[in-house]
């Protein structure tokens, strides 16, 4: 039972890690979607600050707000209309939310199993404590 408990706890930690990664991806996609929504109101040649990482930005002029380059995976990106890009992001967000729901369900199932194991261990421990004074060995009679 101890081995199973250890395995279940490792599984819970792995699932929690996946949930955190999924939440981060959802947040990133939502920020991207909000950025695209903000671009809809910008005019050509609008001054923008483009993040380059590490809290640093460069100034840029908006050439067009109706075309964006969207990553589709494996370091491949394609040009899409603003509307198509937003739809793509919304689809990804929906897929990640489904993934998160499945992970949360798995997490709950494993956590319940851990709780069940702990309850069994506590029950066994309580039984052993009750029997502490009873070793099952009789005292020897004197002179026998």
Task: Determine contact, residues 68/83, Cβ cutoff 8 Å.
Answer: no
DSSP 78-141: EEEEHHHHHHHHHHHHHHHHHHHHHHHHHHHHHHHHHHHHHHHHHHHHHHHHHTTT--S-PPPP
Task: Determine contact, residues 106/91, Cβ cutoff 8 Å.
Answer: no
Evaluate whether residue 138 is within a structural domain: no
The contacts found for 38-44 with CB under 8 angstroms, 24 or more apart, are 39/65, 39/68, 39/82, 40/65, 40/82
Q: How confident is the model at residue 96 (pLDDT cuts 50, 70, 90)?
A: very high
Q: For 135, list phi and psi in degrees, rounded to 5.
A: -90, -10
Average pLDDT value over all residues in the chain: 87
Evaluate whether residue 134 is within a structural domain: no
pLDDT of residue 136: 55
Evaluate whether residue 142 is within a structural domain: no
Domain CATH for 104: 1.10.287.370
Mean pLDDT of 94-105: 97
139 pLDDT more than 70: no
Evaluate whether residue 137 is within a structural domain: no
Q: Give the count of domains, the chain.
A: 1
Evaluate whether residue 139 is within a structural domain: no
| CB-side neighbour CA atoms (13 Å) of 86 | 14
133 pLDDT more than 60: no
Domain that holds residue 84: 2-129
- Joined together, the tokens standing for residue 55 give 């809290």
pLDDT of residue 5: 78
């Amino acid at each position: 039972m101890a081995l199973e408990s250890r395995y279940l706890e490792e599984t819970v930690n792995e699932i929690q890690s996946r949930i955190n990664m999924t939440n981060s991806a959802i947040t990133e996609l939502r920020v991207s979607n909000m950025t695209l929504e903000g671009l809809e109101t910008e005019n050509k040649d609008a001054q923008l600050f483009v993040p380059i990482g590490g809290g640093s930005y460069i100034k840029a002029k908006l050439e067009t707000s109706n075309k964006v380059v969207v990553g589709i995976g494996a370091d491949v990106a394609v040009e899409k209309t603003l509307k198509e890009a937003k739809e793509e992001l919304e689809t990804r967000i929906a897929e990640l939310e489904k993934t998160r729901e499945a992970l949360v369900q798995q997490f709950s199932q494993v956590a319940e199993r851990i709780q069940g194991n702990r309850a069994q261990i506590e029950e066994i421990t309580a039984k052993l404590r009750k029997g502490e004074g009873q070793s099952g060995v009789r005292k020897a009679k004197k002179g026998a």
